[in-house]
Structure 1
Amino acid sequence: MKPGFGAVAAVPRGAASGRVAIDRRAGVAAAALFAGSLALTGLATAWMVRPPAPAQTRTVSTLSGAPLTLPAAWFVRPGAAAGATPDRLDLAIPWSALSASGGDDRLHVTATRAPDTAAPLGPARRYARFLTAEVRATPDGLMQRRFRTGSPFEGEDLYLAQPDGNRFAARCATALPDPQGACLSEVRVGDLALRVRFAEARLPFWNEALAGLERIFGRPGGAP
């Protein structure tokens, strides 16, 4: 008997099973898409809440008239830029940033605001009464002077840039447990006073180092 009005036609068994397979595949695909969206949401959330990458530079505005922006790796103590006292900054500057000679050692710099008073006596006059009469010229344009036995600076040599040491002077200990800090120099760049410690082996590069310090601390904004 043929189906008439109000009768339900029989569905072939093969067609029904085909629809079930299609529905099952669609459900699996929808579940996969839902799981993928959850994973992406989780990744996005993790990216949003993760801590920011450490800054490559730090800016210090407490010492000089213009802010100094310096590489973060130069600061001696972690967080030194944020927690530095208003009147002092401690840095360890790689020689590769100062001189073409390069090397793994560092120039240790303590920067403070230079006093507003008149500049003190030059090093040649300041140390004159403690020095022997012996003078030796070095190949790199310095004069080497020796401190007298019994003076406050016994065991040190004084190196002066010719003619009077006003551009550069350094005291170097002849015997020191830490050879990397054997020499001490005081340099003024703009409104900053720099106390610099370095190895005596670096004396031949004093001119490059001084030019590098003037470039870093004398230019607006600090290091390039």
Structure 2
Amino acid sequence: MAITDIQAAAHPKQRRPRRKKRPRGLLWLPIAIFTAGVIGAVFWVTYLLWPRWPAADMALDAPALPVTVNGVTFNIPPAAIRNKVQRKPGRQERVDLVFLWPSLTPPDPAGKTGPSAMPGTIDRVFLTVAAYGNSLPPLERFNTIYQRYLASSIETTPAGLTLRPFQDGSPYQGEDILYNDRNPARFMVRCTRDARGGATGQCLLERRIEEVDITVRFPRPWLSDWTAVGDGVDRLIAQLAGSRR
């Protein structure tokens, strides 16, 4: 009898250890995850690059659109919205508008404009409607921030507004604050000065409605009739905001 046969007879229960088989499912799991990721990426890129029909442009003579900015709803004529991408109803971060002055109507879609009834060459007033963010109300900003940078000189314009220039070297260098001394909250603007090259100075008038700031921009020469400007701006905002004004 061979030696191996004798050893096998002496130890009948001994067997060679068997290798443990790895579950086949674990081998396929990483491959399946990788394949799914590749397929998903292909579908996403295909979706982004797939040609689409452009959305139909909003007609400029369409009825006013209900646009909500920071929870406040405004009714805005499409022709008054300056940026094409903003000509849609619903929620928006901000809206940039333009109206003819002094009619307070949107510009003619055909581009026709009438003569301006105000001094200066510009017959349009520009508005930006946006969430106020962290900015202070206009009068509080005047009392707490602007005061730090104002020069000591104080003048009175022929139209009766108080004029205070900003100091040279300040963040507002080259600008002036003009306001109704009896009621600054009623009318207060920050204006650039006319440039030597002939560029007309521009003024910013701000109004706050609930959670929204409305910034109005117009030429500085209009301040010769600032009462009409203030009344017109309030009338225009009331027209946009409805019963809130």
Which interval holds the TM-score relative to the shorter structure? 0.5 to 0.7
Match of 1:61 in 2: 67
User: The residue matched to 1:186 in structure 2 has which SS?
Assistant: strand
Aligned-partner Cα distance in 2 for 1:199–1:69: 25
SS in 2 for 1:97: coil
Residue of structure 2 equivalent to 1:18: none
Q: Is 1:171–2:190 an aligned residue pair?
A: yes
Distance of aligned partners of 1:204 and 1:147 in 2 relative to their CA distance in 1, 3 Å threshold: same
Report the counterpart of residue 160 of structure 2 in structure 1.
141
Report the 3-state secondary structure (helix = DSSP H, G, I; strand = E; otherwise coil) of the residue aligned with 1:82: coil
Given that 2:66 and 2:74 are in contact with CA atoms closer than 8 Å, whether structure 1 keeps it comes out as: yes
Let me know the Cα RMSD of the aligned residues.
Answer: 3.6
Name the residue aligned to 1:200. 220
Cα distance in 1 for partners of 2:175, 2:83 equals 29
> By how many angstroms is 1:180 displaced?
5.7
Tell me the residue number matched to 1:188.
208
Structure 2: any 5+ residue segments left out of the alignment?
Answer: 1-56, 106-115
Cα–Cα, structure 1 residues 68 and 164, in superposed 2: closer, same or farther, change >3 Å?
Answer: closer
1:110 corresponds in structure 2 to: 128
The 8 Å contact of residues 57 and 69 in structure 1, kept in 2 or not, is answered as no
Range with bigger deviation, 56-65 or 134-143: 56-65
Structure 2 match to 1:39: none
Counterparts of 2:101 and 2:86, CA distance in 1 = 21
Counterpart residue type for residue 217 of structure 2: R
Q: Give the Å deviation of 1:64.
A: 6.9
Does the Cα contact within 8 Å between 2:203 and 2:217 map onto a contact in 1?
yes
Which residue does 1:126 correspond to in 2?
Answer: 145
Deviation at 1:75, TM superposition (A): 1.3
Residue 97 of structure 1, CA deviation: 2.6
Structure 2: distance between partners of 1:53 and 1:117: 35
Q: Deviations over 1:108-159 (max 9, x none)?
A: 1101244699746242443112111111112323111111121111111111
1:91 aligns with 2:109: no
TM (norm. structure 1) is 0.61
The one-character-per-residue Cα deviations of 1:49-87 (angstroms, maximum 9, x if unpaired) are: xx9975343313312766433333221123523178622
> Identity of paired residues, percent?
27
- Kept after mapping to 2: 8 A contact 1:181/1:197: no
Q: Deviations over 1:142-177 (max 9, x none)?
A: 111111121111111111221362222222112458
Would you say the 8 A contact 2:102–2:232 is kept in 1?
A: no
The structure showing larger relative contact order (alpha-carbon pairs under 8 Å, at least 6 residues apart) is 1
